[in-house]
Amino acid sequence: MHILHVVGARPNFMKAAPVLQALARQNHVKQTLVHTGQHYDFNMSDVFFQQLGMPTPDINLEVGSGSHAQQTSQIIARFETIVVEHKPDWVVVYGDVNSTVGAAIVCAKLLIPVAHVEAGLRSFDRTMPEEINRLLTDQISDLLFTPSEDGNRNLRMEGVAAEKVHLVGNVMIDTLVRLLPSVPEQLPAGIPGRYALVTLHRPSNVDDVEWLRLLMDMFLEISREVPVLFPVHPRTRSRIAEAGIEVSSRGSNLQILEPTPYLEFLALQSRAAVVITDSGGIQEETTFLGIPCLTVRENTERPITVSMGTNTLVGRDVACLQTELKAVLAGKAKRGTVPPLWDGHAAERIAEVIAGAQTGSLPVRDSSSRC
């Protein structure tokens, strides 16, 4: 059986690594790794492959940056040639980025079975490009691997056939569990003992100049009470520079950092007093780590991190963010629990299903994955 994996952006790498490793233990499985090149910066791509122990991609489509339409169309055009040439039995796609939906569309047209890892997540906000990617990918996938029970419910409501859906747990947590012992014991020089950690990259936060300016002013103000570390995504850095937004002021302690490789970021995240983010994956990682997370979004496709975990949605409301932050720093942080099946073995469950599938047909669904 030939399985072709498609990755394109930093979150994909963390999801694909454990699946590749789990399937490598299957004797009858051959694997090919395709990198679309959606993320191509060293700190956003190459170093992740190194730290995650992933093989060098067999193929790089070198798509690069562009609008959503440009990027997705380039992925479709270039990936079609690869599928026709390699004739895989299954294509595995991850998450909700443009590479995910682009590859899935190609396979649907060519009648190649698609497995979607991290299926069923919904924000119910169609202004988010990722929501469109999720909806389309799930409708044309043949196997759908969900990280939590809410994913199963969403797919059932959308009419996805129950036999396609498998509740397997969270593959990002597989990577976290495996690599947590490798996290550096000492933080780099200049990192304080207690700090808030910030990440921002979504258009709703970084493309609205006035809102971004307001956020940066607030981070400067916060940093007078607790140091703020901000590894800046290349997109966010460009927006800050274009808008001429100040990132320092007298008496503040806001540290602007380069994008941080996985292990180094995990070290920062696991020791933070609080994480302020708009990232989906970080909402999950902080829940597992028991770190308070304040999400600067009006909604989340990972509601289990709010209902069970340590995550709190603060929306686009500076007053709410300040109130929640003060509560955390005062020792009144939200206490959470780890969701079911976030145990470091999700990829093994995925591998069992895929490896047991016959070419061109769907596997028999295990009773434990019942919706």
**pLDDT for the residue 47:** 80
**5: closest CA among 109, 85, 83, 96?**
83
Residue 309 lies in a domain: yes
Same domain, yes or no, for 216 and 279?
A: yes
**pLDDT for the residue 89:** 96
Residue 177 lies in a domain: no
Tokens 């300040």 map to which residue?
Answer: 322
Same domain, yes or no, for 10 and 149?
A: yes
Q: In the chain, how many domains are there?
A: 2
Same domain, yes or no, for 14 and 117?
A: yes
**pLDDT for the residue 358:** 56
Task: List the end-to-end C-alpha distance of the chain, in Å, as a whole number.
Answer: 28
CA dihedral (346, 351, 356, 357) in degrees, to 10, reads 100
Greatest Cα pair distance in the chain: 65
Same domain, yes or no, for 253 and 311?
A: yes
The residues, ordered by sequence, that sit 6+ positions from 243 with a Cβ below 8 Å of its Cβ are: 209, 212, 213
**pLDDT for the residue 362:** 47
Strands (E) across 95-182 are located at 114-117, 143-146, 165-167
CATH number, domain of 227, equals 3.40.50.2000
The rounded distance, in Å, linking the Cα atoms of 173 and 149 is 16
**pLDDT for the residue 233:** 84
pTM (2 d.p.): 0.92
Same domain, yes or no, for 164 and 211?
A: no
Same domain, yes or no, for 137 and 11?
A: yes
Residue 335 lies in a domain: no
Catalytic residue list: 201
Same domain, yes or no, for 163 and 246?
A: no
Residue 179 lies in a domain: no
**pLDDT for the residue 235:** 82
Residue 303 lies in a domain: yes
Same domain, yes or no, for 137 and 206?
A: no
Same domain, yes or no, for 8 and 140?
A: yes
Residue 336 lies in a domain: no
Same domain, yes or no, for 83 and 149?
A: yes
Same domain, yes or no, for 359 and 264?
A: no
Same domain, yes or no, for 83 and 219?
A: no
Residue 182 lies in a domain: no
The torsion angles phi and psi of 76, rounded to 5 degrees, stand at -60, -50
Q: What is the mean pLDDT of each run of 10 residues along the chain (371 residues)?
A: 94 95 94 87 68 92 89 97 97 97 98 98 96 98 98 98 97 97 87 95 92 95 95 89 90 92 94 97 98 98 98 96 95 95 98 77 40 38
Domain containing residue 109: 2-170+342-369
